[in-house]
Structures are given as structure tokens and as C-alpha cells.
Structure 1
Amino acid sequence: MTLTDDRQFPAALAAAMAVPIDYADGDGIDFEPYEAFLSAEDTTDWFRAWTGNNELDGDAFRVFGQDGTGGYAAFWLVRPGLPTAEQPVVFLGSEGETAVVARDLGDFLWLLADGCGPYEAAAPYGAEWTSRPDDALTAVAERFAPDARRPAGAVIELAAEEFPDFEDTVMDLCR
């Protein structure tokens, strides 16, 4: 697969990341967006440290934010030839958590609009979670992905169904 080293945010992601994310003293979204993708070098350093495998690089990921513990949210460039916005969004937690949290950027926008971030989406399935719609993030989702509207639970479920082997794929890379 040929990957580009395009580190520019898609317009929809830039718009969403410009909206202040409400942590709400632990009851909101635990997500700290970046202003740009992590550099290729920093992504490789992180992925090698995360997996314990110095033979890897981070070319398959575009990291765009983190939770409070340092877990990363990223696009996983697994769909050959498609732009970043059409790649799945994953969470790789500081304690080894892994999950595909959205099938693409449109779904990710609706995840955020429903008050759910990557960390919350990667929580053990079935964990208690309450919808907390955010008007500003909903406006971004309506602008950039009007046909993808769905609640966070549906976004998470569809992502898990499409990529059921993500955790095994990543764990096979670990040393």
C-alpha cells in the first residue's frame, strides 16, 4: 500500500478540533485535540514504544489527539487509495486499550456531537455511557457529514462490526 505523508487536517477535522471539548470535571469528553497531526517521526517513536517493536514505523497512523492519560486518537490508514477522511478512527490507550471507534471521519464527527470521545468509545463495550449532545460539535457534524447522523452507540457498534480484528492486528505487532 502506498501511503502519503500528508499531515494536513481534513477541513472537517480541523473544524471539529477548533471547538472547545468539554471535559465537564470528568463527566464530559476526555479528549485533547491537537492543532495538527503528530509528525511522522513522533508517530514512529510513539508506535515503537507502544508496541515494544523497534522494527515498526507509524506510517499507518495519523495521530490527532489524546486523552488525559496519553492514549492517542488516530486515523488508521488501512483502506488503500482512500483519503484520510475515509479511513477508520482508532484509539490506542496508554494502558494497552485498542478500538476502532468510528468507520470514518463523518462517523467520528457524530460520535463527538453525541458527547462521546475516543477514550469513552473504547471503554469496555457495555459500559454505562450517557448521551450528552454538544450543539457546537453537532453543527460541525451537520455541516460536513449530514448523511452520517447516528448516535454514538451506533457509530461504535458499526466500527466494531467492520473491523473486528483490529485489537488482534495490533497485538500481533507487539513484542
Structure 2
Amino acid sequence: MIETTGEDRRFPPALADVAKVEFDYDDGEGVDFEPYGALDPAEETTDWPRHWTVFQGSEGERGVVAGNLSGFLWVLADGVGPLEVVEFQQYEGHPGPALTELAARHATTPRRAAREIVTEAQAEFPAFSDGIDALCR
């Protein structure tokens, strides 16, 4: 895990590049993903599960999207966002050159299809949602 100290809340380079990309919502047919530009302060997030590849939406949506950062980058490169995967089981999108280039530059694994990455990660963490529910009780 990458630790931040003091006021240094910058993302690692791969996530900083993702945060700069404008995702095309396309009137609900595209990707609904608006990443923050930096990490929130530790005092605000200490109790949050810390895993780069988990999606937690603003309305309580949650789910496993990828097993590692490289997988997450390849999912985005396939033109699919975390909300689309978790809420709609959508694995095909509109790939764009910016995210494909970003993933190729930062990923340490070969490109794989979003469906394969997500299915593998969800099998690895089958009790994720139940675990979050248990933390909230």
C-alpha cells in the first residue's frame, strides 16, 4: 500500500493520470466515473477499506472491480467504469485511445478483457459486500 504523510495526498502516477482523463458520460450510455484529483486526508478515511480496486459509490454501491491496479487500468481502457461493472454488469464499453495509452504505460500486466479481469477479481473476493455490511452494523 502507498502511504501518504502530512499534507502529501498525491495519487501514484498511474492514478494521477486516470484522474486527468475526462470520461464521456454520453447521456447515460458512457462511463459514469468522476475520480478525485488526490487522496482524502487520512483522518477522514481511516475507517474506509483501503484497496485501489474496490468501488464504493456515492449512493452505497460497492463491488470488486479488479484484483490489482493494472487490472483496473485495463478495465478503464476497455471503456468501462466501476459503476457500470458493479451496478449493471456491463463489460463492454467505448474504448478510447487516452485510457488505452495510459494503461499500456502504467500497467505491469498484459492487456486482458474487462469481463475476464472483473470475473477473476470477484471470485477472489466473494464476500466483499457482506464484509462491508458487517462493518456498517
- Place the TM-score, normalised by the shorter chain, in its bin: 0.7 to 0.9
Mean CA deviation greater in 134-143 or 8-17? 8-17
Answer yes or no: is the 8 Å Cα contact 1:115–1:133 preserved in 2: yes
Within-5 A mapping of 1:92-111: 92-111=56-75
Deviation at 1:156, TM superposition (A): 1.0
Which contiguous aligned blocks of 4+ residues in structure 1 show a shift greater than 6 angstroms? none
TM-score, scaled to structure 2: 0.84
* Matched residues, number: 134
Specify which structure has the higher proportion of helix: 2
TM-score, scaled to structure 1: 0.68
Q: SS state of the match for residue 32, structure 2?
A: coil
Task: Quote the RMSD (CA, aligned, Å).
Answer: 2.2
Deviation at 1:42, TM superposition (A): 2.9
Unaligned runs of 5+ residues in structure 1 are 45-56, 62-75, 77-87
Distance (whole Å) between structure 2 residues aligned to residue 3 and residue 13 of structure 1: 12
Within-5 A mapping of 1:58-137: 58=48, 60-61=49-50, 76=51, 88-124=52-88, 127-137=89-99
Deviation at 1:130, TM superposition (A): 3.2
Deviation at 1:146, TM superposition (A): 5.7
User: 1:4–1:129: structure 2 CA closer, same or farther, 3 Å change rule?
Assistant: closer
Specify which structure has the higher proportion of strand: 1
User: 1:5–1:128: structure 2 CA closer, same or farther, 3 Å change rule?
Assistant: closer
Identical-residue share of aligned pairs (%): 47
Distance (whole Å) between structure 1 residues aligned to residue 91 and residue 120 of structure 2: 17
Answer yes or no: is the 8 Å Cα contact 1:131–1:152 preserved in 2: no
Q: Name 2:20's counterpart in structure 1.
A: 18
Q: SS state of the match for residue 96, structure 1?
A: coil
